Structure 1
């Protein structure tokens, strides 16, 4: 049972739009596929996409759509969880062009913005004036103001600053019929009809609307007749298209502190939120232990959750003040106030970095809990109901009984101070019986929240998920008033039809059921975290959009370089999902649109950790390439760089003088150009210099050590290009009392073959290498890696290639980073280290994803290294990516975002530490200073240099 691609004749429509729209008109299959879903359970293939440049484009689009009789759907960042951002309509995307802060008046504390302005963009603009925009959903670094108005978004600071409706002063809107409506100058037929509606239903609205701060369901008829702007908030794009809005700004405390309060369980935390509310904090957020368990299962290398105080449920209470002392005093007051109410443990933090780490746990909750601890899938739907906060504990207990009655499990968190619960539930959305259970649960849950005086939606809106349930919350005359309100603005019912009024069924268009991926052919990777199913892996992306943020973390470097959705993790995941579904993307693994999107994936693995849902696009790309090129001729770079260890093995047998000759020839422009053309290498790149002598060819007998044996994994990059790093590592390890041994022959993790989708070859190479080191693994000897990408491949990828091989499992558990070995001896390092050093640190992406950096930080501190770990994301080279033809500009754009400017600005005495060969190569070829490895800095600090 699939929803077919739109049957609306689009050729003439697209052509007519292209004639009059100055922005972008995108009706191709790839764009329709990428915009077929939001962050909800729903999937509807749009007619097409328009990115207007200005109001004139909006007017022109509406006129053409009227002429063709097609619906229109304005959309923000596409992170809506209720399904209000999908539909068979022409989607208006404001994120590309109409995204400016038009005016900011610090004295009036207002800002006039276009609908595509990102929440954090507005907050950053207001910050120099000591102001901020109050509502801040967990998606604040990518959600748009237009989308926030559409959903009446709230966020963690709503106890202090309210919802979006409380912070909206003026809306400028164009209706489907082309009528302009400015709430600052309400003239014409629309305001007259609104006043008439209020005269007839105002009293009933006062009688029937629930009395709580988080009522988001339905239209804001309670704002009539005095505040038309607030009446339009929360309309979910059903009334018209917002072209500009004036938003209220609030004073932002200069300093903040965070009290994290641990309770026996979430019930006790919920029971006592009113005690904290009386202290008037900025936030009162809550989390259940299930979220923390899911976080640790998803990301074993994360460390932030270890800082949480003891407990099974937590409250985050943020306070503000003019000074750190004042903010901390308020936080400690919250701790003191809660001691008589079941408090188990507490933590007060005011350091901004520690606060950000703790906040990220809460903000990533929506993605984290989409997978259970055991890998089971969980979904939104009943996502954000709210009740009066004084009844929150009682509601939570009854809600758990509703889950139990329907045989469901849920992991929750939310805005406990406002009585708003966020939850992901393990619905079965793949079978008819499961969907019937989904409907029955939703109806039961709706009746439960209404009994508690609550709202079906407390933040995310009604959309396709809850509009059908509104008659359970509002009486028939109010539902009729909603329809009349909608008709005043949109009598043709062409603005996002099916939401709020005349709703679609909540069990219709469920994306998993109607668009089930059906993949044929041999699967190459194990996809163990998705129960061995690539199709299941493609359901991971829920559209939360953390990959479409402008900065912070590693993902997604190509999106940040290009701003194109197809180059985001989400965009690629959508394309792969639709490819598997086969409705819109019909070419399967041979489809060029999917291949084009994956071509600029750096396989950096940043999404594996940064994506709260754990999408691993590097693995998806490997699987895609393996199937796309099965039995076919591959790109030249797959044979050159994809097989680099094989070529270097041959070169490694040459005498030093022959290697010198090769290096000289590689610098001859004409010869290098030919070699790069044959190898599919970008002409802008220099061919790296090969070491005259491999590290493994230098005779160096293992010295006995009192701390036991170590096996050094002599990876291709270190052995052939940077053997001095291996020499330094051995010097340090032997000085600590280890006996360092080498494999008797060349070993390789197979990474270059993995990243180019040559999985069978990678499996053979890895199997052969594991057989070589098996005696050491059997003896329990730790294997030490120096190259992060190879170390990560052994730890994380080996079992994906060889899931049934016990040696692969052994190396996954037995491989250690150089820093992890040294971290066991920080006291000795601290005693032996001399002098102090400063360093800028570029973490390798695969280390970020699979290894973590806690050990590195401990070791650098022990060695007296004042380290600034850059939040620079990927260096842009990413193995073979930055060398491949057609990738140079994106590669360098990624490096120029943070890394290269930071290195150029650093003082001459600051070392640049980059353990990854790709990172060092990018820095070298960019003409910056010579980077070093941690082993080389350790040699200096310990005085081991000759």
Structure 2
């Protein structure tokens, strides 16, 4: 019996995992699912690790090194894995510091220093520093999830390095451990301190002696070849070994990409930001013109000078972001120049900057809210750039080059010509003020020819940047992407110095081998390979945006890691990750496992994969990722597709039958609601829940005594109906549980002059079947629904939905399920929220004035499909003082929060923002929550009730407001 390479790899992984587990190394994983999650970072590269370790304590790091050294296994240190160069993936053991080894150890506001563990997220440090009026100067666009250890590894810079320097300039001291287990504390050293260390001997003394000797023998090369301009990040930062730089070993390790030592702690410098800021947006005919303006602009006292090309912003489809972009100066490229100082001097500084800019349009922004909206576009650049405006894939590889700012215009002209010569395209953005450009290029890795073009182009680009006196990397490091090309930038003498430097620190080559020295080929280990054939996986959803290719859909995730933002700010993605802080529960982790499923190498069971099933278990199907992920990864749809195939012909979880079939079961319950309510509240309730796969902690919602449809069909219409008919979508949730919401909708629509109709029979959008992956049934239901509504939608009659999840399903899921069905597309175009109809389609209607304060929870499906803009406008028109929660999912999310095993995560997700805000709201504040799930979570976890927007309006209407009531308050 022969052993395949995959079998041998599994055996090796098992042996390494066992040794690590027995060696007290922290949390250790060697299963296929975990290895799949860590197979890639944000680069073009894919390497399957043998095991993943999450150290909790210092001893776990030391023990992991001891075990790996004994086994001869290399170690790759990893923060959040947002590297675009491939240095955060490895074929040995990946040590992830971000989950546990992430504490703030000390903060001294007087000395303006902080000491941190390497896994701390930058924003967490910034939050702690902000309490003392301080911040950490380097701030890459991934600040919400990148770790200090990763920033030190790559010498990250960010938008404000022009004012506050790179990570290197902000590191004061490092405590590190070598692969051989030597622990050192590093920083500046005087000649006397060097002598004392050498005299003391031991491994520390020998290492310092060797490094000092290396510097003393190569002073000329260190002074002339290295540190020539701020963004020269490629290679090792040996210039910090110079005596005039005080032989600073800490700074010499910054940018070494985990190849020399493992960081145990870092002491960093904090700075005091200016008291006020202004953002000056400068418009130019194109990116080259913007680059030409840089030399004049950098003479001004700037905090940041960032460039953005319209070809990047053209990719944005989300309505709110699109509206922000449309307010920019009407040009093809922009520079975002930030100024800081006293508030009374900013106007003068801004006008002086504009006068020197030679721009074709400008805007001076002093409103912090608008400034944040604009900066968010720039921060999303790494994700947006992964698609061209035509929709094709674009990749890193030449993502990070930098030249002296005075060379930027010339370099960009010739770089643009180089792209055209190879018939390639890429959107340019980046840190123009320091000559650092980011660009992702539409390389074709699916063919041998495309991969050859990639190698040729990257090589010629390296020659071009070297000719302009630049650096292959300006902040992201060399990694596998550029290490091979370093001889084009440095001569043999410097390359030999790098090799000796690595050899002194890591003679066993056990730390991140293949990076910087003895490099791996830049076209090896590619995530996409012409020689690797994905499994033939037929799908129900068409995935048109990805050419009908499920593998291509899953690799839409390029690893920028925005889904790993733990703080619940400004979005929904990803509720379960924010609770568990586990990569497997992030949008990226799920997409990685799904992609590996399509490859069939690590995850080998295709649609039947238990690893994928487990990775998707805590996905709430909230659709937050479809809007918040800058690349539009839609795990909710992937999950529905997977569950459909995974359980095809097999027994499903009980919740798929109880909650997946809830619309049908609700019709049965409507015949005897009081009996059903009595049973679900009786001693039999625990057994009923257990049989239905429902969490024991959850209360089963009570069925209404009378459904909305029964009420509606027995009533006499009111109002004059002068505006014509409107179809009110009767969703199962409100129809059977909270009919007063639909009644309020009728009152509001009739007051606005509409003649309300409801669909014939009992229709359903099929949402519960979609989320549980019962797509065959969902399609049959969708067909019936679109046929029933076709006469109305063909006649141009609007369809108004009051339940956001159902409205979103009509808009997005049904057209996908019924691909090519013109009636389904017509229904999607006709479907509106109540606020959209009243604000955009009902001219002359005046809403009632309501003197009230409200707190609004935007349903996650509404966030993903239509946003809250129309609702905000309507509330403002009514005079309501409304606050919108700036985050997340309620945590219940339809069936998710009711399912057994999900209760704790569901509640914890709600506790991130919604539930504390509701409890803290003043008693007279109206809690607005249009989603049935949101109102249910609020009612079950607080002493407040949620109110639908329709109910709020209806209560203020004549003759109606006394008739509608909030069932949660009753």
Shorter-chain TM-score bucket reads: over 0.9
Q: TM-score, normalization: structure 2?
A: 0.94
Task: Give the 5 Å matches for 1:258-277.
Answer: 258-277=279-298
SS at match of 2:807: helix
1:112, distance to aligned residue in structure 2 (A): 1.4
Residue equivalent to 2:249: 228
- Inter-CA distance 414–853: structure 2 relative to 1 (3 Å threshold): same
Distance change >3 Å, CA 739–CA 329, structure 1 → 2: farther
Contact 1:273–1:417 (Cα < 8 Å) also in 2: yes
Query: Would you say 1:248 and 2:269 are equivalent positions?
Result: yes
Q: Deviations over 1:280-328 (max 9, x none)?
A: 11110110001111123x66875332332221101111122343x4445
Instruction: Measure the CA separation in 2 of the matches of 1:660 and 1:15.
Output: 57
Aligned-pair distance for 1:8? Answer: 7.5
Segment of structure 1 superposing worse, 265-274 or 400-409: 265-274
**Conserved? CA contact 1:301–1:852, under 8 Å:** no
**Residue 306 (structure 1) aligned with residue 326 (structure 2):** yes
Q: Distance in 1 between matches of 2:824 and 2:533?
A: 30
1:131 match: 134
Select 1:107's aligned residue among 100, 110, 118: 110
Distance 2:695 2:530 in 1: 43
**Which residue matches 1:768?**
784
Could you report, residue by residue, the CA deviation over 1:918-944 in whole angstroms, capped at 9, with x for unpaired residues? 101111111431211111111234454
Q: Which residue of 2 aligns with 1:144?
A: 147
Contact 2:384–2:630 (Cα < 8 Å) also in 1: yes
SS of equivalent to 1:841:
strand
Give the secondary-structure state (helix, strand or coil) at the position aligned to 2:279.
strand
Mapped partners of 1:300, 1:540: distance in 2: 22
1:690 counterpart SS class = coil
What's the counterpart of residue 824 of structure 1? 840
Corresponding residue number in structure 2 for 1:587 = 605
2:381 equivalent to 1:330: no
Q: Does the Cα contact within 8 Å between 2:25 and 2:61 map onto a contact in 1?
A: no
> In the alignment, which residue of structure 2 is the partner of 1:926?
941
TM-superposition CA deviations, 1:251-298 (whole Å, max 9, x none)? 1123322122222221111111222212211110110001111123x6
Tell whether the 8 Å contact from 1:2 to 1:515 is kept in structure 2 after alignment. Answer: no
TM-score where L is the length of structure 1: 0.96
Residue 633 (structure 2) aligns with: 615
1:50·1:92 contact (CA, 8 Å) conserved in 2? yes
Question: In structure 2, do the counterparts of structure 1 residues 3 and 867 end up closer, same or farther at CA, with 3 Å as the change threshold?
Answer: farther
Q: CA deviation at 1:826?
A: 8.4
Q: Alpha-carbon deviation of 1:860?
A: 0.8
Farther off after superposition, 199-208 or 769-778: 199-208
Q: How does 1:77-96 map to 2 (within 5 A)?
A: 77-96=80-99
Say which SS state the counterpart of residue 262 (structure 1) adopts. strand
**Does structure 1 residue 55 correspond to structure 2 residue 58?**
yes
Mapped to 1, the partners of 2:5 and 2:762 lie a distance apart of: 52
CA offsets per residue over residues 199-238 of structure 1, 9 Å max, x none? 2222023333373211110101111132211111100000
Spell out, residue by residue over 1:491-530, the C-alpha distance to the aligned partner (whole angstroms, 9 max, x if none): 1111100000000100000011179562334311111221
Equivalent of 2:642 in 612, 624, 644: 624
Instruction: Name the CA shift for 1:96/1:190 in 2 (closer, same or farther; >3 Å).
Output: same
1:183 match: 186
For the residue of structure 2 that corresponds to 1:149, the secondary structure is helix
Aligned counterpart in structure 1 of residue 688 of structure 2, from 675, 678, 685: 675
Report matched runs for 1:694-773 at 5 Å: 694-698=707-711, 699-702=714-717, 704-773=720-789
> Counterpart of 1:423?
439
CA deviation after TM superposition for structure 1 residue 55, in Å = 2.5
Greater alpha carbon shift after TM alignment, 395-404 vs 721-730: 721-730
| Separation of aligned partners in 2, 1:516 and 1:359 | 39
Question: Following TM superposition, by how much is the alpha carbon of 1:610 offset from its aligned partner in structure 2, in angstroms?
Answer: 0.7
1:11: Cα distance to partner? 3.6
* Cα RMSD for the two superposed structures: 1.9
CA distance in 2, matches of 1:48, 1:268: 49
CA contact (8 A) 1:136 1:156 kept: yes
In structure 2, the residue matched to 1:28 is: 31
Counterpart CA distance in 2 for 1:263 and 1:271 is 10
| Aligned pair partner of 1:660 in 671, 674, 687 | 674
* Partner of residue 909 from structure 1, selected from 920, 924, 928: 924
Question: Matched residues in 1 for 2:566 and 2:327: separation?
Answer: 27
Deviation digits for residues 536-583 of structure 1, max 9, x if unmatched?
101111111111111221111111111211111111111111112121
Does residue 1:877 correspond to 2:877, yes or no? no
Once structures 1 and 2 are overlaid, which stretch shifts more, 588-597 or 403-412? 588-597
Within 2, Cα distance between the matches of 1:392 and 1:900? 50
Contact 1:3–1:514 at 8 Å: present in 2 too? Answer: no
Asked whether the equivalents of residues 864 and 941 of structure 1 are also in contact (C-alpha less than 8 Å), the reply is no
Report the equivalent of 2:880: 865
Distance 1:5 1:158, change over 3 A: farther
Measured after TM superposition, the shift of residue 5 of structure 1 is 7.9
Give the conservation status (yes or no) of the 8 Å contact 1:903–1:928: no
Q: Is the 8 A contact 1:626 1:757 kept in 2?
A: yes
1:563 correspondence with 2:581: yes
For residue 704 of structure 1, report the CA deviation from its aligned partner: 4.5
Secondary structure of the structure 2 residue equivalent to 1:513? coil
Q: Aligned pair 1:849/2:860, yes or no?
A: no
Query: What is the rounded CA distance, in whole Å, between the counterparts of 1:31 and 1:51 in structure 2?
Result: 12
Secondary structure in 2 matching 1:602: coil
Aligned length: 935
Counterpart contact for 1:826–1:862, Cα < 8 Å:
no
The 5 A counterparts of 1:495-534 are 495-513=511-529, 516=532, 518-534=534-550
CA shift digits 1:646-666 (9 cap, x unpaired)? 1223334x2xxx322322222
Q: Is the CA contact 2:227–2:239 (under 8 Å) kept in the aligned structure 1?
A: no
Other structure's SS at 2:684 match = helix
Q: Which runs of structure 2 are paired with 1:383-398 in the superposition (5 Å)?
A: 383-398=399-414
Instruction: Tell whether the 8 Å contact from 2:227 to 2:237 is kept in structure 1 after alignment.
Output: no
Residue 908 (structure 2) aligned to one of 893, 896, 900: 893
Deviates more, 1:97-106 or 1:83-92: 97-106
- The answer on whether the counterparts of 1:317 and 1:331 sit within 8 Å (CA) in structure 2 is no
Q: Please state how far the C-alpha of 1:336 moved relative to its aligned partner.
A: 3.6
Contact 2:799-2:831 at 8 Å conserved across structures: yes
Aligned residue number for residue 281 of structure 1: 302
Structure 1: give runs of 5+ residues left out of the alignment. none
Q: Deviations over 1:317-344 (max 9, x none)?
A: 1122343x44455334433432xx1x22
**1:3/1:236 Cα in 2 relative to 1: closer, same or farther (>3 Å)?**
farther
CA distance in structure 1 between the partners assigned to 2:924 and 2:304 by the alignment: 43
Change (3 A) 1:508 1:365: same
Matches within 5 A, 1:536-547: 536-547=552-563
Conserved in 2, the CA contact under 8 Å of 1:75 and 1:91? Answer: yes
Query: Aligned in 2, Cα 1:832/1:79: closer, same or farther, shift over 3 Å?
Result: closer
Say which of 210, 219, 224 aligns to 1:202. Answer: 219
> In the alignment, which residue of structure 2 is the partner of 1:690?
703
Alpha-carbon distance in 2 for matches of 1:432, 1:256: 50
Contact 1:320 1:326 in 2 (8 A): no
Give 1:875 shift.
0.3
Cα separation, 2, equivalents of 1:850 and 1:603: 14
2:475 counterpart SS class: coil
Indicate the SS of the match to 1:135: coil
Q: 1:804 aligns with which of 799, 815, 820?
A: 820
Matches within 5 A, 1:336-415: 336-338=355-357, 341=358, 343-415=359-431
Partner residue, 2:202: none
Distance 1:321 1:207, change over 3 A: closer
- SS of match in other structure, 1:532: coil
